[in-house]
Structure 1
């Protein structure tokens, strides 16, 4: 069943989302050649602790323990990269996924960051992935269907010019999800349209994590021997962007964006809901 939140509960999720936003901001600012993914993890960990929150990543996930408060996925790693001793090099592309629990409510978001100067196709890859996320978020309106979100994400990607080297591969088998009193809840949110079903109707109180994952090649992935790290099967680089978003009577509220999504949604002709925290 899909968990529907009250306005008061959405306000609590907004507080958790802002912790995630601050942790990702600090990690982004720490990205540089010579920095390890473990050091980025420590930066995010300190922010989460400062706010009295806890990590929803560093936990047991169905019998598999994840040791970090971030997923640090570099280059061909799509998602779930374990932070540790890997040293970032100039030109790398790192996706940083982070979550937090505050007062029993979860937040979850991800960004992709270039390490110094990187190749043009990598810049395009991150831009297209982020843009598709916002296209999906813009469809999170009362009365729309879940498939409208998936169609918007896929449609945005398919309309983009191909990169100088490669193509756009929308990762199969992974997608967004409901979020609230747990990090992963119903429904699953595909980043492409599959089958004829329209999915659930979107109603106020629905909260979804929208997270496209795109590569410069194949949509296919495999999991490494650590049982966590997901990589592209052809070695092409990937990008991952994510926000947790609530549907309200006034429109979408991006819980993990500092401005609630106001600036990016305005570019798409959508008015973000007022921030319940002011």
Structure 2
């Protein structure tokens, strides 16, 4: 029997798409009305030409990249060791990785301030560089569920026990095995977690605001309080950046780890 068109599924998809796209179109149309009586990109020009926009975006990008590096160095060896040697502790590690979704960020940042304040043994909040370190640590914690899930799924797709035994039979140490064998084989998973981490950290507000850091999230909130058309333009730019990251994540995630293009074989013409 020929299957008919799934009308109900199509309607649900269209309604879901309209729920997200209609407000986005309204924000885009509003962002073009900065000049009275005509449509223009003046709001986008104003946002992109602002030195504060560039400085806050650069600060958040650097902090996000630092959080990605710290998160990968923390998660990949942990997932590898748990899957290889401590499989019974895997449910515990999974539960710990999900705690940032339960604990509000405001609790996390006040805990950081309490532990690393002026009366602490390690007063990181007394200097700008120390506060930046706290911000990156907070970003690592917030992105832990997403980085852990991405790396754990990537680790499940490879035979880490066989790879470890093969590396050890060739004389590789455990650190060299992780760096030279495990990391390249879960590269696509790390890239997927990295893009998710970057998307989360770029627009994060609570940690950056309470730690008084010049990040992109507090800038977006402050711009929304002071102007009318520029926040709409900034929201469209943020959506475009996020969608670009999602597309890149999908592109890198679909690549098989370790595949390289082979050079064509040369055949000899001499008898």
**TM-score, length basis structure 2:** 0.26
Larger radius of gyration: 2
Structure with the bigger percentage of strand:
1
Q: Quick check: which one's helix share is greater?
A: 2
**Which of 1 and 2 has higher RCO (CA within 8 Å, sep 6+)?**
2
